């Protein structure tokens, strides 16, 4: 597949993967993108997952025709892209591997060699001339590992963006970009908003007409839309007005309170209410929603003198991704020593710029009239 006259797509679709990166369900599979730039010199941009070695090498060989590659550019060492470095370098012994200084010790750890005899170490602003194409390397540490570089081709005005602007889903799946790109971003890169902001600032100085990520579709039009979403996500901004109510419920009483609150919010014309049972839904989707909307209500029970495990896991996902800039309310339930709201608030202590609602709903087993009044008050505060 030609992307430009000289840039070819040689990536693969993975519909076998059960959990991407060992934890994310990917109902529409995953794409591992790789590209070949064919000029006076030939550069292959990254490899693919280990389960697709033959398919990938076949595609690369087809694009190469009777020529040999000069460079393998490694932008990111995570094995979904880097698994075939050694295989490639064995197959093409004349090729030089181009990567950042931090990547080579990782190659030694993965493959037993840091390719000292055939490597080119590049850093911020370094260039590689291929003929008519000049590649400029831009350091992108922690987007999403420390060794990451992205690459700008000033001839075709293309940014090879590594994991940036990637999404879940194979390229042959028809699905909305933002939904699976957001779940991917928040889940995988969400902790590193500052580093993504730094990269966006550098990218703002480049004339970019196409973004070629390592996952998901090649972005060729309306780039402002994607860049704006990345700016919101990485600055922990509110993308959509609305309230997420995340709950766990053992016998249905906490669930009832959560549903009552959802109904009240809808009655009041709240633009969007998302109600989610944390034990029975995709955790990554829930984490995504918590970051998407501006307001969050956490509803759970006291459990083992702590809180219910799914809520504990959910809050941990938020805090480890630097959750901030939000309004939070609580619904707690406990039959003999209710303490869930206090425990949740303590877990969120390190989160910056959080506004807590004045009202906390306190259920002592089942929802009673006093709770109904509290729910009404909480709804009024939120909407």
Binding site for ligand FEO (CB under 6 A): 76, 78, 80-81, 144, 163, 214-215
| Residue of this chain nearest to ligand FEO (CB atom) | 78
Q: How far is the CB of 122 from ligand FEO (least distance, A)?
A: 19
The answer to whether residues 276 and 244 touch, using CB atoms and an 8 Å cutoff, is: yes
Q: How far is the CB of 231 from ligand FEO (least distance, A)?
A: 20
Q: How far apart are alpha carbons 188 and 19 in whole angstroms? A: 13
The answer to whether residues 12 and 48 touch, using CB atoms and an 8 Å cutoff, is: yes
Q: How far is the CB of 257 from ligand FEO (least distance, A)?
A: 39
Q: How far apart are alpha carbons 57 and 302 in whole angstroms? A: 54
Ranges of H-type helices in 35-176: 53-64, 79-82, 85-91, 103-111
Q: How far is the CB of 162 from ligand FEO (least distance, A)?
A: 8
Closer CB to ligand FEO, 144 or 312, in the complex: 144
Closer CB to ligand FEO, 32 or 104, in the complex: 32
Q: Give the burial string for 231-265 (b: 16+ CB within 10 Å, else e).
A: eebbebeebeebbbbbbbbeeebbbbbbbbbbebb
Closer CB to ligand FEO, 38 or 144, in the complex: 144
* Backbone dihedral region for residue 335 (phi beyond 0: left; psi -120 to 50: alpha; all else: beta): alpha
Count other C-beta atoms under 10 Å from residue 181's C-beta.
25
Q: How far apart are alpha carbons 103 and 81 in whole angstroms? A: 13
Q: How far is the CB of 47 from ligand FEO (least distance, A)?
A: 12
Closer CB to ligand FEO, 80 or 259, in the complex: 80
Beta bridge partners of 44: 36, 72
Q: How far is the CB of 307 from ligand FEO (least distance, A)?
A: 31
Q: How far is the CB of 110 from ligand FEO (least distance, A)?
A: 13
Closer CB to ligand FEO, 24 or 104, in the complex: 24
Closer CB to ligand FEO, 184 or 247, in the complex: 184
Q: How far is the CB of 34 from ligand FEO (least distance, A)?
A: 12
Q: How far is the CB of 143 from ligand FEO (least distance, A)?
A: 9
Contacts of the segment 19-24: beta carbons below 8 A, 24+ positions apart? 20/80, 20/168, 21/80, 21/188, 23/284, 24/168, 24/183, 24/184, 24/187, 24/188, 24/284
362: CB partners within 8 A, 6+ apart: 332, 338, 341, 371, 374
Residue 341, CA distances (Å) to 91, 345, 356 in order:
59, 6, 11
Residue 219, CA distances (Å) to 212, 226, 227 in order:
7, 9, 11
Cα dihedral across residues 377, 343, 363, 322: positive or negative: positive
Closer CB to ligand FEO, 163 or 332, in the complex: 163
């Amino acid at each position: 597949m030609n992307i430009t006259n000289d840039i070819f797509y040689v990536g693969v679709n993975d519909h076998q993967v059960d959990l991407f990166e060992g934890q994310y369900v990917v109902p529409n599979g995953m794409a591992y993108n790789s590209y070949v730039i064919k000029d006076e010199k030939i550069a292959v941009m990254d490899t693919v997952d280990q389960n697709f070695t033959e398919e990938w090498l076949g595609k690369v060989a087809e694009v190469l025709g009777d020529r040999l590659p000069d460079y393998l550019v490694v932008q990111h060492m995570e094995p979904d892209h880097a698994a075939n470095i050694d295989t490639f370098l064995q197959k093409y012994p004349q090729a030089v591997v181009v990567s950042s200084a931090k990547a080579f010790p990782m190659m030694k750890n993965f493959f037993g060699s840091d390719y000292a005899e055939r490597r080119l170490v590049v850093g911020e602003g370094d260039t590689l001339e291929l003929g008519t194409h000049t590649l400029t390397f831009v350091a992108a540490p922690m987007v999403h590992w420390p060794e990451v570089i992205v690459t700008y081709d000033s001839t075709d005005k293309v940014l090879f963006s590594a994991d940036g602007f990637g999404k879940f889903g194979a390229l042959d799946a028809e699905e909305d970009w933002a939904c699976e790109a957001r779940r991917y971003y928040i889940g995988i890169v969400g902790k590193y908003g500052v580093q993504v902001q730094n990269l966006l600032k550098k990218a703002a100085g480049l004339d970019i007409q196409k973004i070629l990520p390592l996952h998901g579709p090649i972005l060729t039009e309306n780039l402002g839309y994607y860049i704006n979403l990345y700016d919101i996500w990485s600055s922990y901004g509110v993308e959509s007005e609305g309230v997420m109510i995340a709950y766990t419920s053992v016998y249905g009483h906490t669930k009832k309170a959560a549903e009552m609150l959802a109904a009240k919010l809808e009655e009041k014309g709240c633009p969007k209410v998302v109600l989610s049972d944390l034990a029975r839904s995709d955790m990554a989707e829930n984490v995504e929603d918590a970051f998407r909307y501006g307001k969050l209500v956490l509803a759970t029970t006291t459990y083992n003198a702590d809180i219910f495990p799914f809520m504990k896991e959910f809050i941990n996902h938020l805090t480890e991704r630097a959750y901030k800039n939000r309004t939070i309310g609580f619904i707690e339930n406990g039959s003999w020593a209710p303490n869930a709201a206090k425990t949740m608030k303590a877990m969120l202590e390190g989160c910056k710029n959080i506004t807590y609602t004045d009202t906390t709903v306190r259920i002592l087993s089942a929802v009673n009239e006093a709770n109904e009044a509290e729910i009404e008050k909480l709804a009024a505060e939120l909407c």
